[in-house]
Chain A
Amino acid sequence: MGPFDQATFSAAVLLTTPLLLAAIGELFSERAGVLNVGLEGMILMGAFGAYWGQWWTGNLWLGMVAGAAAGVALAAVMALLSITAQADQIVVGVGLNLLALGLTTFSFREVFGDRGEIVLDRMGTVRIPLLSRVPFVGEVLFSQTPATYLTWAIVAMTWFVLYRTTWGLGLRAVGELPAAADTAGINVALRRWQAVMVTGALAGLAGATLSIVRLGLFQENMSAGRGFLALAAVIFGRWKPLGIVGACFVLGGADALQLRLQAEPYVPAEVWLFIGLLGLAGAAWTLTRSRRRASVTTVGALLGLAAIGVTLRAMAPTWSFPPQLWLTLPFVVTLVALSGLAGSQAAPAAIAVQYRRERDV
C-alpha cells in the first residue's frame, strides 16, 4: 500500500474537516448570490478568535463559539459593504482578506507577543462504539474528533435546510432570480445578509478546527490558502452539498498525500501506479461521458499518462522530489479538477450580481 495506507486516509479525513466546513458555509452565500472571496479572512479570524477564546475562558467549546463569532464579525462587514452599500463583492472580499491578516497578526502579537508559545489542550478523538471497530473504515471515519462529526452533521443539516425548508427555497430563489423572489415577498437583502452570516459562522468554525482542535496553537496566516481551496471546492462540487463533500475529500486527500510524500526519501512506486490508474480512469470517463465524439487528443494524453505511470511503476526509479514542490500538490489537483469540469452552468444565475429594486431609491 505504501503511502496509501490507513494513516494517510485518516489524515485525509482530518484535513478535509476545515475545508468542508468552509466550503459548506460558502455554499450558503453563493446560493444566495453572494460570491464571498473573503472566506480566507473569515477562516483566519475564526482561527485566532477560537484560540483567544479558549485561552481566555479555558474551555475548548467556548473557544469554538468565539471562533464562529469572529467569523460572523467579519461576515457582517462583508454583508454591510457588499449588500447594503452595494460595493463590488469581489473587491470587498479581497479587502477583507488583507484586513483579517493584518488584524489577526496585530492582535496575536499584542495579546500573546511576550508570553511565548502557549499550547492549549487540543480536542481528543472520540471512538464511536461498534462502528469504530469495523476494520479500516472504522479507524478512518469513526475515530475522529467531535469537530469532524459535527461537520458531517452540519453538512446533512445544510442539505435539509437548502432543499427541504421554505427558508432554503427562498435563499436559492434569491440567488437565481432575485427580482422574482422579491415579487414573491422575500426580502432579498435580508436573506442575503442571513446567508453571509451563516457563512461567517461556519468559516469561523473551520478556522477553529485549524487552530485549537488540531494544534492548540495559533500561527500567523495559518489559513494558508485554504479559503481559496474551499472556494474552488464549491465550484468543483457544482454548488451541491454532496458534490462539495466529494470535492473536499479529493483536496483533503491530496493534502494528506503530499504531507506523507514529503517525508519519503524518493517517490514511492505506488505513486506511479496511482498516476497510471488515474490516467486510465480519466480516459474511461471521457469516453463514456461525452455524447459527441471524445476528443482524440484528450483520450490519447490520458492513455499516455496511464502508460507512463505503469512503466514507472515497473521500473520503480529512485527519484527524489523536493518537498516544496510536493506542497503544491493540492493546488495543482484543484487546478486540474477545475479545468476538467468545462462550463459553470451549475452556478447560481445571480452570483456576484447586485440586486436593486426598480423603484427603490
Chain B
Amino acid sequence: MRRDQVTAALSPVLVNLGALLLTVAISMGVIAVSGNDPVAAMRALWDGAFGGRTQIAGTLSKMIPLMLVALGWIVAYRARRVSIGFEGQILAGGILATWVGLSFSSLPMVIHLPLAVLAGVVGGALWAGIAAVLWARRSVNEIISTLLLNLIAIQIVNWLVRGPFQESTGTFPRSGPIAPSARWPELIEHTPLSWDFPLALATVFGIWFVLKRTTFGFRLQFTGANEEAARYGGIDTRSVTVIALVVSGALAGLAGSSLLLGGESRSMSDNFSANYGFEGIVVALLARNHPIACIPAALLFALLRQGGGLMEARVGVPSSVVMITQGLVILLVAGSGFLLDQRGRVRVDAEESTPHPPTEARRATVEVG
C-alpha cells in the first residue's frame, strides 16, 4: 500500500473517532448540567452493558435490529434513496411475524420459526414496497412516503394490540404470548441472546458480499453514482432502485421479527420498535455506509441502550440524554465529512465507475473537485 492509500483508509476512522469524542464530551456536559456526576454515569453505563454474562448478552442481542436496519439504510442509500421508514417496516414485519407466531401453534419448530421469520421479512418488504412503487410509478418522494407509512403503521399496531391481537384477558395493550415453537432458541442459556444473532452477523457479510462482488451490487452502485450514465449503460435503474428499497424494507422486517421472536419479549406491545428504526440509521452513518463497519458501530449503540438503563436507575440520567447523543453523532459525523480529502474521494469515484460514463457524467465528476 502506498502511503496516501494508508492515509485515505485511516482518515475516516480518525475523523469518526474525533466526532465520537466530541459527542461524548458534549453528552457528559449535558449530564453535568442535569446535576449528575458524569464519571459515575459513564461507570454505570459500562457496568450496565458489560458488567456480567446477562448484560453482555443483552448488549449483543440489541445489536441485531441495529445492524439489520443499518444494512437496510445502506442498501437503499447505494441507490441514493433516503428511506426513513424503517420504524414502520419493523412494525409491519413484526405484525406479520406475530400473526404467524400466534396462529399455527401446532406446527413443529423447524417449520413454524422459519415461517414466522419469513413473514416478518415479507411484511417489511411489502411496507417498503408501497413507497417503492409510489416512487417508481408516481414519483412520490420516498422520504415523505416512508415517514407517512411509519405514522400509519404505528396506529395500525396501536389498534391491533387493543383489538384483534389483544391478549385474552383484554386488560393490557399487548398481544397474547407468541407460541414457543415460533421463538428463536437461546444461544446462551437464560439470557436474551438467541440464535438470531449469528443470523444477523451472517446477513452483514451477505449484504457486504452482494454489494461488493455481484452484478446486482455493481448495478446498484452505478445507479446511485450516476443514474443517467447507468441508464445509458443499459441498466434498468428504476427496477434496480425498487429492488433496493424492497430489500431494505425486508431487512427492517427481519429486524422486526427478531424483536418479537428473539430476545426478552414474549408478545407484541404497542411500541416494540422502540426507535430502533432511527437508531439504525445513525449506526449506518457512523459506519459511513460500509456494511462490515456496522458491526462495531452497532455495538456502540447497543452499549448505550443496554447500559443506559442502569445509568438512569443508578445515577438518574434521563433517557432523553441518549437521544441527544444520537442526534449529535449524526450531526458531527455528517458535518465532519468535509474534513476528509475531497480530491482523494473524487479520484476513487472515477476509478470505481470503470465502464466509462458518457462525457456529460464525466464532466459532472470533474466539477465536484
- A residues near B, CB below 8 A? 37, 77, 80-81, 85-88, 90-92, 94-103, 105-106, 109-110, 225, 228, 231-232, 235, 322, 324-325, 327-328, 331-332, 334-335, 338-344, 356, 358
The answer on a CB contact under 8 Å between A96 and B327 is yes
Which residues of chain B in 214-260 are interfacial with respect to chain A, using CB atoms and an 8 Å cutoff? Answer: none
Which of the listed residues B282, B320, B337 has the most CB atoms from chain A within 10 Å of its own CB?
B320
Would B151 and A102 count as touching, CB distance under 8 A? no
Scoring B30, B33, B149, B324 by chain A CB atoms within 10 A of each residue's CB, the highest score goes to B324
Q: Do A324 and B147 touch (CB < 8 A)? A: no
Contact B141 A344 (CB under 8 A): yes
Q: Are A106 and B318 in contact (CB under 8 A)?
A: yes
Whether A331 contacts B152 by the Cβ 8 Å rule is yes
Q: Contact: A106 with B326, CB < 8 Å? A: no
The smallest beta-carbon distance between B175 and chain A, in angstroms, is 15
Residue contact A95 to B320, C-beta cutoff 8 Å: no
- Chain B residues with a Cβ closer than 8 Å to the other chain, count: 49
CA distance A335 to B140 in the complex (A): 8
* Pair A88/B334 contact, Cβ less than 8 Å: yes
Contact yes or no, A106 B324, CB < 8 A: yes
B144 in the interface (beta carbon within 8 A): yes
- Is residue B134 within 8 Å, beta carbon to beta carbon, of the partner chain? yes
Question: A324-B155, A356-B368 are contacts. A102–B84 as well, Cβ < 8 Å?
Answer: no
In contact, B368 and A228 (Cβ under 8 angstroms): no
Residues on the A chain within 8 Å of B367, using CB: 358
- What number of A-B contacts does a CB cutoff of 8 Å give? 142
Q: In the complex, what distance in Å separates the CA atom of A110 from the CA atom of B31?
A: 11
Contact A338 B141 (CB under 8 A): yes
Contact in complex: B330, A91 (CB < 8 Å): yes
**B146: nearest chain-A partner, CB-CB:** A228
B58 to A: closest C-beta gap in Å? 22
Give the distance to chain A from B16, nearest Cβ to Cβ, in Å. Answer: 14
Residues of chain B at the chain A interface (Cβ within 8 Å) = 30, 33-34, 82, 84, 134, 137-141, 143-145, 147-149, 151-152, 155-156, 158-159, 162-163, 278, 281-282, 285, 318, 320-331, 334-338, 367-368
Chain B residues with Cβ below 8 Å from A358 are 367
**Residues of B with C-beta under 8 A to A235:** 141, 144
Given the known A-B contacts A91-B330, A94-B281, are A335 and B145 also in contact in the complex, defined by CB atoms under 8 Å?
yes
In the complex, 18 of the A-B residue pairs with CB atoms within 8 angstroms, ordered by the A residue number, are A80-B335, A85-B335, A85-B338, A86-B338, A87-B338, A94-B330, A95-B328, A95-B330, A102-B322, A105-B323, A106-B320, A106-B323, A225-B147, A335-B148, A335-B149, A338-B145, A343-B139, A344-B141
Question: Once the chains bind, are B337 and A87 in contact (CB under 8 Å)?
Answer: yes
Closest 6 CB pairs of A and B: A99-B327, A95-B330, A102-B323, A102-B324, A98-B327, A324-B159
Residues of A within 8 A of B337 (CB): 85-88
Apart from A92-B330, A102-B326, A105-B318, what 18 extra A-B contacts exist at CB < 8 Å? A81-B331, A85-B335, A92-B334, A94-B330, A95-B329, A98-B278, A99-B323, A99-B324, A99-B327, A102-B324, A106-B30, A106-B34, A225-B148, A324-B159, A328-B152, A334-B148, A342-B139, A344-B141
CB distance from A296 to the nearest CB of B (A): 16
Which residue from chain A places its CB closest to the CB of B82 in the assembled complex? A90
Q: How far is the CB of A331 from chain B (nearest CB, A)?
A: 5
CB-CB < 8 A to B149: which residues of A? Answer: 335
Contacts of A95 on B, CB cut-off 8 Å? 282, 327-331, 334
Distance from A326 Cβ to chain B, minimum over Cβ atoms (Å): 9
Residues on B with beta carbons closer than 8 Å to the beta carbon of A92: 330-331, 334-335
Kindly provide the distance from the CB of A15 to the nearest chain B CB, expressed in whole angstroms.
16
CB closest residue in chain A, given B158 = A324
Contact pick for B148, options A87, A88, A228, CB 8 Å: A228
Closest chain A residue, CB of each to CB of B144: A232
Q: Chain A residues near B82 (CB, 8 Å)?
A: 90
B330 with A98: CB separation less than 8 A: yes
- Residues in A whose Cβ lies below 8 Å from that of B163: 322
A345 to B159, CA, bound (A): 38
Residue of B nearest to A77 (CB): B331
* Smallest CB gap from A345: residue in B: B139
Query: Does the CB pair A109–B134 fall under 8 Å?
Result: no
Q: Which of B148, B162, B328 has the most CB of A within 10 A?
A: B148
Q: Which of the residues A77, A98, A327, A342 comes within 8 Å of B323, measured between beta carbons?
A: A98
Q: Inside 8 A of A99's CB, which chain B residues have their CB? A: 323-324, 327-328, 330-331
| Among candidates B147, B158, B162, B338, residue contacting A228 with C-beta atoms closer than 8 Å | B147
Shortest CB-to-CB span from B224 to chain A, Å, is 13
CB contacts (< 8 Å) of B141 on chain A: these are 235, 338, 344
Q: How far is the CB of B238 from chain A (nearest CB, A)?
A: 14
A339 and B134 within 8 A (CB): yes
Instruction: Give the docked Cα–Cα distance between A92 and B328 (Å).
Output: 10
CB contacts (< 8 Å) of B336 on chain A: these are 85
